[in-house]
Amino acid sequence: MKFNLVTLFPEFFDSPLSHGLMGKGVEKGIVSFNKVDPREFATDRHKSVDDRPYGGGPGMVMFIDPIAKALDTVGIKPSREGGCPKGKRLIMLSPKGKPLTQKMAVELSKEEELTLVCGRYEGIDARFEDIFPVETVSVGDFVLNGGEAGAMCLIEAVARLLPDFMGHSESGTEESFSSGLLEYPHYTRPPEFDGYAVPEVLSSGNHGLIEEWRRKKSLDETLDVRPELLAEAEGLKKDDVRYLRTIPRKRLGKNLYMALVHYPVLNKFGEKAAVSLTNLDIHDMSRVSRSYSISGFFAVTPIEDQKKLAERIISHWTSGPGSKFNPDRAAAFSKVGVKDSLQDVVEHIEEGTGKKPILVTTSARGAGSTTMNKVREMLQDNPVLLVFGTGHGLAPEILDMAEGSLRPIRFMDGYNHLSVRSAVAITVDRLLKDAW
């Protein structure tokens, strides 16, 4: 495979492309590199390749013209003049690009030639992307000094998948992300170091047991470090799922509590009002609480007959006939409580945990002031009370109690009118997912 590197700093690549497996790949003719410096095509005596941005602002922006001429030397022209020849692709490393994944690396490894454009400064004049058939690729959610380091990541990820590049053909298929999981741990001599021994199974000679051990360790590592990968991992088997269920988890849900406020809320006129508690809300929210291992769910209402109704429903399933008829429902309802006010819920949680819970509200309106990731961070070491409203939303005094408000579920769409039961299920799933 041929890599064309369009860069203002071709010397950046000299060492990494001439050592180790990459150096051997070059010697064998598996990979080749052609470095093109846009500065060679600059037209003024200073060899300028950038200028101040239109509209003002910090930094410099790279000219299109030197890059266009550099690309012309590798056979890539503007889209209207033919674009990229078959078997070639034009890629620009950029923080705004598609994430570089193992799946993308596999796809790119099937090409004959890749041209990588490495931007610098504030980037390249935006018209470059309008004129050329370029794909943008990112190596992570961070900013580098230029695209060269990102290009090197992409080159290594792609090159190692080429035939004969690796010493063993299976090396590329038994590594992290190849099956959607992180790789199992490896060991070599000595058999013991500083009191730590190599796992006995690896010296047993029983290849079936070794394969089973490695699969389980791969699942362990993924669940512990990157649990979000499991939902998309391809090839998970029933035995894998069965094993995952036996592994103790951090379970962020243990620090999460939910409250459904029936008063004070707003009616359609924006006035403070009370809304009736419903059997269906309690049923569904209790089941969500149990499914995601949440510590507790509270219905909030000061109305006596509503409280009696709720308590009658709860007792039917926890200690009455329903507990014998449906033990699973009894387990769900064991997490339900009824309180006069949200302040009562806060005090109840503080009494049980020794910490005052952080309040986070939800709403179908506005832009929100916090995100799922921030709430997950809160849950690491603190109880969090996630507050849902009925009617037409929570009253201002409830919102004032909160640390922040989650962004609405469908915040970019004009119609955002889910039932509270649906909103609870979606919000909790996005927050905790299956692995957490």
For the chain, the average pLDDT equals 94
Is the per-residue pLDDT at 372 higher than 60? Answer: yes
Q: Which domains does the chain have, with CATH numbers?
A: 2-171 (3.40.1280.10), 192-244 (1.10.1270.20), 252-432 (3.40.1280.10)
Give the pLDDT band of residue 7 (cuts 50, 70, 90).
very high
pLDDT tens-digit profile of 115-171?
999 999 999 999 999 999 999 999 999 999 999 999 999 999 999 999 999 976 555
| Per-residue pLDDT tens over the stretch 318-327 | 999 999 999 9
Model pLDDT for residues 228-282, shown as the tens digit of each residue? 899 989 889 999 999 999 998 888 999 999 999 999 999 999 999 999 999 999 9
User: What is the mean predicted confidence (pLDDT) over 291-310?
Assistant: 96
Tell me how far apart the alpha carbons of residues 97 and 93 are, in angstroms, rounded to a whole number: 7
> For residues 339 and 262, what is the distance between their CA atoms, to the nearest angstrom?
11
Identify the pLDDT of residue 82.
Answer: 86
The Cα-based distances of 419 to 139, 333, 361, 366, 412 in angstroms read 39, 21, 16, 17, 18
The reported pTM is 0.86
First vs last C-alpha separation in the chain: 42
pLDDT digits (tens, 9 = 90+) for 68-93: 999 999 999 999 888 898 889 999 99
